Amino acid sequence: MNNRNPAERRSRFLPIAWNCLVNRRSPMGLIHFVTNRCNAKCAHCFHGYGREVEQTARTGLFSHPGDAELRLDELEQLARHLGPCLFNVNLSGGEPFLREDLEAIGRAYLGLGGAASLFVSTNGSFPERALSLARMVAVEYPDRVLFLSISLDDLPERHDRARGIPGLFENALATYHRAREVASNVRCLINLTVSEYNYRSAAAAYHHLIRDCGVRNLTLGMARNEGFYTASKGLEAEVLATLEAVQGFLRKDRRAGRLESPSEASGLLATMHEAKNRLQTQFLENQRRQPGYVLACRAAALFGILGPSGEVFPCELVPRSLGNVRDYYYEFIDLWHDSKAEAMRTWIATTRCHCTYECAWTYNLLADWGCLGAMAGLGLCTRIGRPRTDG
Ligand code: SF4
Ligand code: SF4
């Protein structure tokens, strides 16, 4: 077991808060694309797996074509040099469980990197590997959290056809239910992505998941118009309208207690998490309808992207590499404080860069004093306005 004692937890809080609100020089969140490989073929994939894309171009997303994936021993070195404020690491892909060493990679980020949580986004096609990772976190890191986000976007047959894997819906759903039983620090979510390929059936899929499949925790997203995926012109309004309609069902189901809060936390933490999500949804809805600068972006400051072969990027939307960790002997913080990253931070600030990239918004909100105040206000209203059942 690798539990942190209360004193250790307290000693981490102040540097993290200082970094988040004042200094902003150390990453709190990292999205690591552990591989560009995938066994599915989704048409909305920004890697282009569902489309006729040249293999060389496909493997070039977040890495140089042909470059080898970072090995476990390289990642173990890297994990030691991510700074004192690392909070969450998102292991993504491609399909991350195609890497047989994903469990060891997770262990490196939790044990050597000190991350408080891991978030793994998977298509759910490797149930045994997912369960093994869940058991490892439950046994070895009971004070940390594993979020297992499993994609289910459509009704069963349509989902399997869209992803090109027979039986995937059932497999992914079984993974969700089995992993939920592992331990309280393993939190499983179903993620439903609305795109031009499922917007007609997305609401039916949502109701099927909640009413018939026993899903208790669900998040929503919209296919991002980037990478090798270009959304068809003319359908944006309908896709957005579907997303907002399903968001309405989701809010209603959460209020009625049919769905849990995404964090599954309780007490004050859950209230603050809910308040952050509400604020984020409001900002994103406004931003999709009327794009414009409202908040400083903390990409390349509080969070960043690590590609499969070690290239580092500020976010998934700006394809300008800040360098490769292999050239910095895996000293991530050295790369983060070097001139390219500094120039990127200046560019983001001076261009007042803005977008609807959800992963950035979490950190943008947390690093803004005004938004923290708004979250506290929202949280207070929620707690005053409902019967007290916790904490
Ligand atoms: S599962 Fe994810 S990475 Fe794989 S093809 Fe689908 S969207 Fe792309
Ligand atoms: S605003 Fe969006 S596109 Fe610009 S740097 Fe931030 S996350 Fe990237």
Evaluate: CB of 313 within 6 angstroms of ligand 2. no
Q: Best of 355, 356, 368 to mutate for ligand 2, by most ligand atoms within 8 A of CB?
A: 355
pLDDT tens digits, one per residue of 269-320: 666 777 787 788 888 878 878 888 989 999 999 999 999 999 999 998 888 9
Q: What is the pLDDT of residue 268?
A: 60
Q: How many separate domains does the chain show?
A: 1
What lies within 8 Å, CB to CB, of 388 at 6+ separation is: none
Evaluate: CB of 303 within 6 angstroms of ligand 2. no
Which ligand lies nearest the alpha carbon of 124?
1
| Ligand 1 centre distance from Cα of residue 53 (Å) | 14
Structural domain contains residue 333: yes
Q: What is the pLDDT of residue 151?
A: 97
CA pair distance 359, 127, nearest whole angstrom: 25
What lies within 8 Å, CB to CB, of 8 at 6+ separation is: none
Evaluate: CB of 76 within 6 angstroms of ligand 1. no
Evaluate: CB of 34 within 6 angstroms of ligand 1. no
Q: What is the pLDDT of residue 284?
A: 82
Structural domain contains residue 63: yes
Asked if 295 and 371 count as a contact pair (C-beta separation under 8 A), the reply is yes
CA pair distance 166, 158, nearest whole angstrom: 10
Structure tokens at 212: 């018939």
Q: Which residues of the chain have pLDDT under 70?
A: 1-2, 48-61, 64-66, 225-231, 262-271, 382-391
Residue type, position 37, single letter: R
| Ligand 1 centre distance from Cα of residue 63 (Å) | 17
Structural domain contains residue 386: no
Evaluate: CB of 318 within 6 angstroms of ligand 2. yes
| Ligand 2 centre distance from Cα of residue 150 (Å) | 25
- Picking from 20, 191, 4, the residue whose alpha carbon sits closest to that of residue 110 is 4
Structural domain contains residue 272: no
CA pair distance 210, 70, nearest whole angstrom: 39
Structural domain contains residue 377: no
Q: What is the pLDDT of residue 319?
A: 85
Which ligand lies nearest the alpha carbon of 98?
1
Q: What is the pLDDT of residue 294?
A: 87
- Picking from 238, 158, 143, 142, the residue whose alpha carbon sits closest to that of residue 192 is 158
Evaluate: CB of 95 within 6 angstroms of ligand 1. yes
Q: 97-117 b/e with 16+ CB inside 10 Å = b?
A: bbbeebbebbbbbbbbbbbbb
Residue 210: domain span: 6-264+299-367
Backbone region of residue 364 per phi and psi (left: phi > 0; alpha: psi in -120 to 50; beta: other values): alpha
Asked if 169 and 159 count as a contact pair (C-beta separation under 8 A), the reply is yes
pTM over 0.85: yes
Structural domain contains residue 385: no
| Ligand 2 centre distance from Cα of residue 318 (Å) | 7
Q: What is the pLDDT of residue 262?
A: 65
Look at ligand 2, atom 8, and give the residue with the nearest C-alpha.
315
| Ligand 2 centre distance from Cα of residue 305 (Å) | 12
CA pair distance 150, 168, nearest whole angstrom: 11
Structural domain contains residue 1: no
Structural domain contains residue 53: yes
Q: What is the pLDDT of residue 382?
A: 67
CATH number of 47's domain = 3.20.20.70
From the number of C-beta atoms within 10 Å of its C-beta (0-12, 13-18, 19+), residue 190 rates as: buried
Evaluate: CB of 301 within 6 angstroms of ligand 2. no
- Picking from 334, 70, 46, 81, the residue whose alpha carbon sits closest to that of residue 323 is 334
